[in-house]
Amino acid sequence: MPDQSFDLVILGGGSGGYSAALRATELGMSVALIEKDKVGGTCLHRGCIPTKALLHAAEVADTAKDSAHYGIVSTFESVDIAGVTSYRTGIVAKKFKGLQSLLKARGVTTIDGAGRLTSGTTVQVGDSTITGKHVVLATGSYSRSLPGLELGGRVIDSEIALDLDHVPKKVAVLGGGVIGVEFASVWKSFGADVTIIEALPHLIPNEEESLSKALERAYRKRGINYSLGVRFQSVTQDDSGVVVTLENGKTIDAELLLVAVGRGPSTAGNGFEEAGVQLDRGFVAVNDRLETTVPGVYAVGDIVFGLQLAHRSFQQGIFVAEQIAGLNPAIVSDVNVPRITYCEPEVASVGLTEAKAVEQFGRDAVQAYDYSLAGNAKSEILDTAGSIKVVRVKDGPVVGVHGIGTRVGELIGEAQLVVNWEATPEDIAPYLHGHPTQYEALGEAFLALAGKPLHAL
Ligand SMILES: Cc1cc2nc3c(=O)[nH]c(=O)nc-3n(C[C@H](O)[C@H](O)[C@H](O)COP(=O)(O)OP(=O)(O)OC[C@H]3O[C@@H](n4cnc5c(N)ncnc54)[C@H](O)[C@@H]3O)c2cc1C
């Protein structure tokens, strides 16, 4: 491959890298997107898309098992994991093909190979030097483990878990965050006996505490076991399974241990520090406009400390392309990025928790309203419990929305607009919500906070 020059060179073709590429070509730049594996990255091939396909298959299994509740006679026989795999991989393959075509149609030059940053304007791929007036680093993340806990054999990460060719009979999940509770949800629906181990006092510990407690209740009802507030100590494995020991002496035996304790930034070995890019605990240090310590070099996505979510990476990719083009794009702070955990029941939130709002504005200045989905007709039809909690500043805007219940992930679109536009409940109370929908629950909470509740006291 010959040496080549572009307006923009992007290292890593995942959500952050390819969105920067697409926006930059729209803005008239020539773009090279360097990818060592497959464009689409973690989200498309190992993360969001395949796990959500699994969760949908799990929902179908639950629906088949519960069909009598709706007056439908059916028999749930078993999970055909080969069939589930073919459904999952089929979706990924279709989206991958679509993305490749889109990049081509937009005129992005995709370069296959591992790149290494060699200066503020150059990336080396094999023997070729790819030069850019600007460079974007978007090398993503990897599954972390705990000190002394080695992945291998029956101790697996999410990538191996995704590709299992069978449903484990009994599985332990280390970590009660998003990835851990999602896999626990799938495996339980598929018939496994599941135990989650979380060192902090609650599942999904970064969410509003009332959501964590509601999820714990729902999981208990589903028969998903969990050990909270106790740390992992060690694991042993042999041909028949694993034995996990916790610091309180309790042991859990299982067929597999999924390690889901978070993801580290893939920044080592890519030449970043040698080229002058400063790292901070492994993450690329950036200012609020995503500029690194080397002028002209930007970073986006999971290598930037904060929420590791695909849509944050998309937004940062677009932001950086617009920043380079001199458009002065708006900064979206992490707290206002929507967060969804796609387990059953789903959990969705945006903005400040009530506790954080009180910390920021003072107890007397914060008002919250928790609308139970028991009052929402569509949720009754779907047979889901849950709630939508809206947090506002008194006489001021909505600063947080937090929900739990089947399918509530779909409600966060409206919620994130309200929070990011700093709307007050009075501003939005007059706008309508289709009936019967689950998003009426949001409307009810806004009406209540505006002092005119409809289906609530
Ligand atoms: C199991 C799981 C489920 C998830 N579910 C969700 C979800 O439902 N919703 C959500 O928003 N997020 C989800 N995520 C997180 C989401 O996948 C990431 O936040 C997102 O993919 C980050 O995008 P990125 O561009 O920063 O990195 P990545 O998508 O990891 O892309 C980085 C790319 O860079 C390439 N690369 C790395 N180094 C080099 C190099 N030296 N040269 C060339 N190429 C290189 C890699 O091959 C990779 O393709 C999930 C993650 C996991 C693991």
| Ramachandran area for residue 191 (φ above 0: left; ψ -120 to 50: alpha; else beta) | left
Residue 358: per-residue pLDDT: 98
User: In terms of domains, do 312 and 241 share one?
Assistant: no
Give the 3-state secondary structure percentages of the chain, helix then strand then coil, rounded to 5: 35, 25, 40
Residue 456: per-residue pLDDT: 85
Residue 108: per-residue pLDDT: 98
Q: Which atom of ligand 1 is nearest to the CA of 304?
A: 26
Residue 307 one-letter amino acid? L
User: In terms of domains, do 271 and 132 share one?
Assistant: yes
Q: How far is the CA of 187 from the centre of ligand 1 (A)?
A: 23
- Residue 456: inside a domain, yes or no? no
Q: How far is the CA of 310 from the centre of ligand 1 (A)?
A: 7
Residue 190: per-residue pLDDT: 98
User: In terms of domains, do 115 and 256 share one?
Assistant: no
What length does the chain have? Answer: 457
Residue 99: per-residue pLDDT: 98
b/e code 179-199 from CB counts within 10 Å (16+ = b): bbbbbbbbbbbbebbbbbbbb
Sign of the four-CA dihedral 359, 306, 199, 209: positive
Q: State the total domains in the chain.
A: 3
Of the candidates 322, 300, 321, 299, the one whose C-alpha atom is nearest the C-alpha of residue 311 is: 300
Q: What is the DSSP string of 180-234?
A: HHHHHHHHHHTT-EEEEEESSSSSSTTS-HHHHHHHHHHHHHHT-EEEES--EEE
- Our answer on whether the CB atom of 313 is closer than 6 Å to any ligand 1 atom is yes
Please tell me the residue having the least CA distance from ligand 1 atom 37.
139
The CATH number that applies at residue 383 is 3.30.390.30
Using 50 as the pLDDT threshold, list the residues of the chain that sit under it: none
Residue with tokens 């339980």: 188
Domain that holds residue 329: 4-143+264-334
Assessment of whether the complete model's pTM goes beyond 0.95: yes
Of the candidates 288, 412, 305, the one whose C-alpha atom is nearest the C-alpha of residue 350 is: 412
Residue 382: per-residue pLDDT: 96
Catalytic residue among 134, 402, 435, 455: 435
Q: Measured at the alpha carbon of residue 142, what is the angle toward residues 314 and 335, in degrees to the nearest 5?
A: 45
- Our answer on whether the CB atom of 124 is closer than 6 Å to any ligand 1 atom is no
Alpha helices (runs of H) in 27-172, residue ranges in sequence order: 41-45, 48-66, 81-105, 158-162
User: In terms of domains, do 437 and 375 share one?
Assistant: yes
Last residue in a domain, options 293, 311, 334: 334
Q: How far is the CA of 7 from the centre of ligand 1 (A)?
A: 24
Residue 55: per-residue pLDDT: 98
> What is the token pair recorded at 79?
């999970």
User: In terms of domains, do 244 and 354 share one?
Assistant: no
- Our answer on whether the CB atom of 10 is closer than 6 Å to any ligand 1 atom is no
- Our answer on whether the CB atom of 139 is closer than 6 Å to any ligand 1 atom is yes
Instruction: DSSP letter for 419, please.
Output: H
Q: Report the relative pairing of strands 128-137 and 4-11 from DSSP bridges.
A: parallel
The rounded distance, in Å, linking the Cα atoms of 43 and 159 is 11
Q: Which atom of ligand 1 is nearest to the CA of 14?
A: 31
- Our answer on whether the CB atom of 14 is closer than 6 Å to any ligand 1 atom is yes
Residue with tokens 């926006």: 23
**134 is an active site residue:** no
- Residue 148: inside a domain, yes or no? no
- Residue 454: inside a domain, yes or no? no
Residue 332: per-residue pLDDT: 86
Residue 84: per-residue pLDDT: 98
